[in-house]
Amino acid sequence: MNRRKAEKGAGSGAGFVELGWPGRLRALRGIVWREVLRFARQRERFLSALVRPLVWLFIFAAGFRSVLGLSITPPYETYVLYEVYVTPGLCAMIQLFSGMQSSLSMVYDRETGAMRSFLVSPYPRWFLLGSKLLAGVAVSIVQVVVFLFIAWLWGIDPPVMGYLTVLPALVLTGMMLGSMGLFLSSAIRQLENFAGIMNFVIFPMFFASSALYPLWRMQESSTLLYDICRLNPFTYAVELIRFALYGQVNWTALLVVFGATVLFFGAAVYAYDPSKGLIGRRR
Protein backbone atom coordinates (compact mmCIF):
# COMPACT_ATOMS: atom_id res chain seq x y z
CA MET A 1 0.00 0.00 0.00
CA ASN A 2 1.28 3.46 -0.83
CA ARG A 3 -0.68 4.92 2.07
CA ARG A 4 0.74 4.37 5.51
CA LYS A 5 -1.54 4.84 8.49
CA ALA A 6 -0.54 5.53 12.07
CA GLU A 7 -2.85 4.49 14.84
CA LYS A 8 -3.87 7.25 17.24
CA GLY A 9 -5.32 5.05 19.92
CA ALA A 10 -5.37 1.49 21.10
CA GLY A 11 -8.09 -1.05 20.50
CA SER A 12 -10.47 -1.65 17.67
CA GLY A 13 -12.22 1.28 16.10
CA ALA A 14 -9.37 3.64 16.95
CA GLY A 15 -8.86 6.60 14.66
CA PHE A 16 -5.91 6.83 12.36
CA VAL A 17 -3.77 9.46 10.74
CA GLU A 18 -3.28 9.14 7.02
CA LEU A 19 0.42 9.48 6.27
CA GLY A 20 0.08 9.45 2.49
CA TRP A 21 0.04 12.56 0.36
CA PRO A 22 -3.73 13.15 0.71
CA GLY A 23 -3.27 13.27 4.47
CA ARG A 24 -0.24 15.49 4.13
CA LEU A 25 -2.13 17.90 1.92
CA ARG A 26 -4.85 18.16 4.57
CA ALA A 27 -2.21 18.81 7.20
CA LEU A 28 -0.59 21.44 5.00
CA ARG A 29 -3.92 23.13 4.44
CA GLY A 30 -4.60 23.14 8.19
CA ILE A 31 -1.22 24.66 9.05
CA VAL A 32 -1.49 27.32 6.34
CA TRP A 33 -5.07 28.17 7.32
CA ARG A 34 -4.06 28.50 10.99
CA GLU A 35 -1.30 30.96 10.06
CA VAL A 36 -3.63 32.94 7.80
CA LEU A 37 -6.27 33.19 10.55
CA ARG A 38 -3.64 34.31 13.05
CA PHE A 39 -2.46 36.98 10.63
CA ALA A 40 -6.02 38.13 9.86
CA ARG A 41 -6.76 38.57 13.57
CA GLN A 42 -3.59 40.57 14.17
CA ARG A 43 -4.36 43.70 12.18
CA GLU A 44 -1.62 45.65 13.91
CA ARG A 45 0.87 43.13 12.52
CA PHE A 46 -0.31 43.88 8.99
CA LEU A 47 -0.17 47.63 9.55
CA SER A 48 3.28 47.53 11.12
CA ALA A 49 4.54 45.42 8.21
CA LEU A 50 3.49 48.22 5.83
CA VAL A 51 4.47 51.23 7.95
CA ARG A 52 8.20 50.43 7.95
CA PRO A 53 8.68 50.26 4.15
CA LEU A 54 6.25 53.11 3.51
CA VAL A 55 8.23 55.40 5.83
CA TRP A 56 11.34 54.67 3.78
CA LEU A 57 9.45 55.12 0.52
CA PHE A 58 7.62 58.34 1.36
CA ILE A 59 10.03 60.12 3.71
CA PHE A 60 13.59 58.86 3.44
CA ALA A 61 13.48 58.40 -0.32
CA ALA A 62 12.29 61.98 -0.76
CA GLY A 63 15.30 63.23 1.19
CA PHE A 64 17.86 60.97 -0.47
CA ARG A 65 16.58 61.64 -3.99
CA SER A 66 18.39 64.98 -4.27
CA VAL A 67 21.68 63.87 -2.73
CA LEU A 68 22.12 60.30 -3.96
CA GLY A 69 22.68 59.89 -7.68
CA LEU A 70 22.17 56.50 -9.29
CA SER A 71 23.97 55.53 -12.45
CA ILE A 72 22.56 53.20 -15.06
CA THR A 73 23.00 49.74 -13.58
CA PRO A 74 21.19 46.49 -14.47
CA PRO A 75 18.33 45.80 -14.57
CA TYR A 76 17.59 49.49 -15.13
CA GLU A 77 18.10 50.79 -18.66
CA THR A 78 18.13 54.45 -17.68
CA TYR A 79 18.62 56.66 -14.66
CA VAL A 80 16.04 55.97 -11.96
CA LEU A 81 14.82 57.85 -8.93
CA TYR A 82 15.93 56.69 -5.52
CA GLU A 83 12.45 55.46 -4.55
CA VAL A 84 12.43 53.24 -7.64
CA TYR A 85 15.76 51.74 -6.60
CA VAL A 86 14.78 51.01 -2.98
CA THR A 87 11.41 49.43 -3.77
CA PRO A 88 12.82 45.87 -4.29
CA GLY A 89 14.84 46.21 -1.09
CA LEU A 90 11.74 47.27 0.82
CA CYS A 91 9.89 44.24 -0.55
CA ALA A 92 12.68 42.06 0.80
CA MET A 93 12.52 43.92 4.12
CA ILE A 94 8.82 43.05 4.42
CA GLN A 95 9.67 39.39 3.92
CA LEU A 96 12.54 39.59 6.38
CA PHE A 97 10.33 40.99 9.15
CA SER A 98 7.49 38.63 8.23
CA GLY A 99 9.79 35.62 8.42
CA MET A 100 10.96 36.64 11.86
CA GLN A 101 7.40 37.28 13.02
CA SER A 102 6.34 33.85 11.82
CA SER A 103 9.25 32.30 13.71
CA LEU A 104 8.23 34.27 16.78
CA SER A 105 4.99 32.31 16.79
CA MET A 106 7.04 29.11 17.04
CA VAL A 107 8.68 30.40 20.22
CA TYR A 108 5.27 31.43 21.59
CA ASP A 109 3.74 28.05 20.77
CA ARG A 110 6.65 26.32 22.48
CA GLU A 111 6.10 28.32 25.67
CA THR A 112 2.35 27.70 25.68
CA GLY A 113 2.73 24.00 24.86
CA ALA A 114 0.93 24.17 21.50
CA MET A 115 4.08 23.28 19.60
CA ARG A 116 4.34 19.98 21.46
CA SER A 117 1.30 18.58 19.69
CA PHE A 118 2.65 20.04 16.45
CA LEU A 119 6.01 18.29 16.69
CA VAL A 120 4.78 14.92 17.99
CA SER A 121 2.65 14.46 14.89
CA PRO A 122 3.47 11.27 12.98
CA TYR A 123 4.23 13.33 9.90
CA PRO A 124 7.93 13.89 9.09
CA ARG A 125 9.46 16.84 10.85
CA TRP A 126 10.74 18.33 7.59
CA PHE A 127 7.19 18.28 6.26
CA LEU A 128 5.76 20.03 9.32
CA LEU A 129 8.43 22.72 9.34
CA GLY A 130 8.10 23.09 5.58
CA SER A 131 4.35 23.57 5.92
CA LYS A 132 4.90 26.20 8.59
CA LEU A 133 7.44 27.85 6.30
CA LEU A 134 5.08 27.90 3.30
CA ALA A 135 2.35 29.40 5.46
CA GLY A 136 4.66 32.23 6.49
CA VAL A 137 5.74 32.79 2.88
CA ALA A 138 2.12 33.07 1.75
CA VAL A 139 1.44 35.72 4.39
CA SER A 140 4.57 37.69 3.44
CA ILE A 141 3.65 37.69 -0.26
CA VAL A 142 0.24 39.17 0.56
CA GLN A 143 2.00 41.98 2.40
CA VAL A 144 4.40 42.59 -0.48
CA VAL A 145 1.57 42.69 -3.02
CA VAL A 146 -0.25 45.34 -0.98
CA PHE A 147 2.97 47.34 -0.68
CA LEU A 148 3.61 47.16 -4.43
CA PHE A 149 0.08 48.40 -5.06
CA ILE A 150 0.67 51.41 -2.80
CA ALA A 151 4.02 52.00 -4.50
CA TRP A 152 2.25 51.93 -7.87
CA LEU A 153 -0.13 54.61 -6.62
CA TRP A 154 2.96 56.62 -5.63
CA GLY A 155 4.22 56.48 -9.20
CA ILE A 156 6.55 53.48 -9.11
CA ASP A 157 5.46 51.39 -12.05
CA PRO A 158 7.71 48.54 -13.20
CA PRO A 159 6.66 46.58 -16.31
CA VAL A 160 3.25 44.99 -15.99
CA MET A 161 4.70 41.50 -16.50
CA GLY A 162 7.10 42.22 -13.66
CA TYR A 163 4.27 41.79 -11.17
CA LEU A 164 3.99 38.19 -12.35
CA THR A 165 7.67 37.37 -12.82
CA VAL A 166 8.48 38.62 -9.34
CA LEU A 167 6.19 36.08 -7.65
CA PRO A 168 8.59 33.08 -7.98
CA ALA A 169 11.39 35.28 -6.65
CA LEU A 170 9.24 36.28 -3.68
CA VAL A 171 8.50 32.63 -2.93
CA LEU A 172 12.19 31.70 -2.94
CA THR A 173 13.39 34.71 -0.95
CA GLY A 174 10.55 34.23 1.51
CA MET A 175 11.58 30.61 2.02
CA MET A 176 15.21 31.61 2.59
CA LEU A 177 14.38 34.28 5.16
CA GLY A 178 11.70 32.13 6.81
CA SER A 179 14.10 29.18 7.07
CA MET A 180 16.63 31.41 8.74
CA GLY A 181 13.97 32.52 11.20
CA LEU A 182 12.98 28.94 11.95
CA PHE A 183 16.59 28.05 12.70
CA LEU A 184 16.98 31.04 15.01
CA SER A 185 13.74 30.20 16.83
CA SER A 186 15.13 26.77 17.73
CA ALA A 187 17.97 28.41 19.68
CA ILE A 188 15.77 30.77 21.71
CA ARG A 189 14.51 29.59 25.07
CA GLN A 190 12.26 32.47 26.08
CA LEU A 191 9.98 34.78 24.15
CA GLU A 192 11.64 37.86 25.67
CA ASN A 193 14.97 36.96 24.09
CA PHE A 194 13.56 36.91 20.58
CA ALA A 195 13.36 40.70 20.27
CA GLY A 196 17.07 41.03 20.92
CA ILE A 197 17.88 38.34 18.39
CA MET A 198 15.67 40.04 15.82
CA ASN A 199 17.46 43.36 16.26
CA PHE A 200 20.83 41.62 16.14
CA VAL A 201 19.95 39.85 12.88
CA ILE A 202 17.44 42.01 11.01
CA PHE A 203 19.06 45.42 11.08
CA PRO A 204 22.62 44.33 10.18
CA MET A 205 21.26 42.18 7.35
CA PHE A 206 19.09 44.98 6.03
CA PHE A 207 21.54 47.87 6.22
CA ALA A 208 24.61 45.87 5.15
CA SER A 209 23.06 44.99 1.81
CA SER A 210 22.12 46.54 -1.51
CA ALA A 211 18.60 47.26 -0.31
CA LEU A 212 19.18 50.99 0.22
CA TYR A 213 22.39 51.74 -1.67
CA PRO A 214 24.08 50.23 -4.73
CA LEU A 215 27.11 48.07 -3.99
CA TRP A 216 29.36 50.36 -5.99
CA ARG A 217 28.46 53.13 -3.56
CA MET A 218 29.48 50.86 -0.70
CA GLN A 219 32.76 50.09 -2.42
CA GLU A 220 33.53 53.79 -2.81
CA SER A 221 33.06 54.42 0.92
CA SER A 222 34.53 51.24 2.45
CA THR A 223 36.03 48.11 0.93
CA LEU A 224 35.34 46.17 4.14
CA LEU A 225 31.68 47.15 4.12
CA TYR A 226 31.49 46.21 0.44
CA ASP A 227 32.87 42.74 1.20
CA ILE A 228 30.38 42.31 4.06
CA CYS A 229 27.52 43.26 1.74
CA ARG A 230 28.68 40.73 -0.84
CA LEU A 231 28.74 37.98 1.82
CA ASN A 232 25.28 38.92 3.07
CA PRO A 233 22.65 36.52 1.63
CA PHE A 234 20.05 39.25 2.00
CA THR A 235 21.87 41.23 -0.71
CA TYR A 236 21.21 38.42 -3.18
CA ALA A 237 17.58 38.19 -2.08
CA VAL A 238 17.18 41.89 -2.87
CA GLU A 239 18.87 41.54 -6.26
CA LEU A 240 16.78 38.50 -7.16
CA ILE A 241 13.61 40.50 -6.49
CA ARG A 242 14.99 43.56 -8.27
CA PHE A 243 15.77 41.71 -11.50
CA ALA A 244 12.57 39.63 -11.39
CA LEU A 245 10.49 42.79 -11.01
CA TYR A 246 11.83 43.85 -14.41
CA GLY A 247 11.42 40.47 -16.06
CA GLN A 248 15.06 39.40 -15.78
CA VAL A 249 17.00 36.74 -13.89
CA ASN A 250 20.12 37.35 -11.86
CA TRP A 251 21.57 33.86 -11.95
CA THR A 252 24.17 34.49 -9.26
CA ALA A 253 21.50 35.76 -6.89
CA LEU A 254 19.25 32.81 -7.77
CA LEU A 255 21.95 30.25 -6.96
CA VAL A 256 22.97 31.95 -3.72
CA VAL A 257 19.39 32.31 -2.48
CA PHE A 258 18.58 28.72 -3.37
CA GLY A 259 21.71 27.43 -1.65
CA ALA A 260 21.05 29.54 1.45
CA THR A 261 17.47 28.25 1.56
CA VAL A 262 18.62 24.64 1.52
CA LEU A 263 21.26 25.38 4.17
CA PHE A 264 18.98 27.27 6.55
CA PHE A 265 16.09 24.83 6.19
CA GLY A 266 18.35 21.82 6.70
CA ALA A 267 19.78 23.48 9.82
CA ALA A 268 16.24 24.19 11.11
CA VAL A 269 15.14 20.57 10.59
CA TYR A 270 18.25 19.34 12.40
CA ALA A 271 17.82 21.87 15.22
CA TYR A 272 14.21 20.82 15.81
CA ASP A 273 15.17 17.15 16.01
CA PRO A 274 14.68 16.32 19.73
CA SER A 275 17.29 13.56 19.63
CA LYS A 276 20.23 15.55 18.29
CA GLY A 277 19.28 19.15 17.58
CA LEU A 278 19.25 22.31 19.68
CA ILE A 279 15.80 21.49 21.03
CA GLY A 280 17.02 18.20 22.44
CA ARG A 281 20.20 19.66 23.96
CA ARG A 282 18.24 22.10 26.11
CA ARG A 283 16.32 19.33 27.80
| Least confident piece of the model among 7-21, 96-110, 181-195, 243-257 | 7-21
**Is residue 125 within 8 Å of residue 269, measured between CB atoms?**
yes
Q: At what angle do helices 43-55 and 21-41 cross, to 10 degrees?
A: 70
- Residue 80 has a pLDDT of 81
Q: Provide, rounded to the nearest whole percent, the portion of the chain with pLDDT above 70.
A: 79
154-160 average pLDDT score: 89
Q: Which long-range contacts (C-beta less than 8 Å, at least 24 apart) are formed by 183-186?
A: 183/264, 183/267, 183/268, 183/271, 184/100, 184/103, 185/103, 185/104, 185/106, 185/107, 186/268, 186/271, 186/272, 186/277, 186/278, 186/279
Q: What angle do CA 53, 144, 259 make, to 5 degrees?
A: 100
pLDDT tens digits, 240-271:
999 999 999 999 999 999 999 999 999 988 88
pLDDT exceeds 60 at position 13: no
- Residue 6 has a pLDDT of 45
Rounded distance, CA 243 to CA 251, Å?
10
Confidence of residue 7 (pLDDT cuts 50, 70, 90): very low
From residue 226, alpha-carbon distances to 91, 132, 210, 223, 239 in Å are: 22, 34, 10, 5, 15
- Residue 10 has a pLDDT of 37
| Least confident piece of the model among 46-60, 138-152, 256-270 | 46-60
pLDDT tens digits, 89-112:
999 999 998 888 877 777 777 666
183-187 average pLDDT score: 82
Which burial class, exposed, middle or buried, applies to 33 when counting CB atoms under 10 A from its CB (0-12, 13-18, 19+)?
exposed
From residue 178, alpha-carbon distances to 15, 94, 99, 143, 152 in Å are: 34, 12, 4, 15, 26
SS3 17: strand
pLDDT exceeds 50 at position 154: yes
Neighbour tally for 54: CB within 10 Å: 15
Mean pLDDT of the chain: 81
Residues in the chain: 283
pTM for the model: 0.84
213-218 average pLDDT score: 84
Q: At what angle do helices 162-186 and 233-245 cross, to 10 degrees?
A: 160
Handedness of CA 29, 31, 32, 34 (dihedral sign): positive
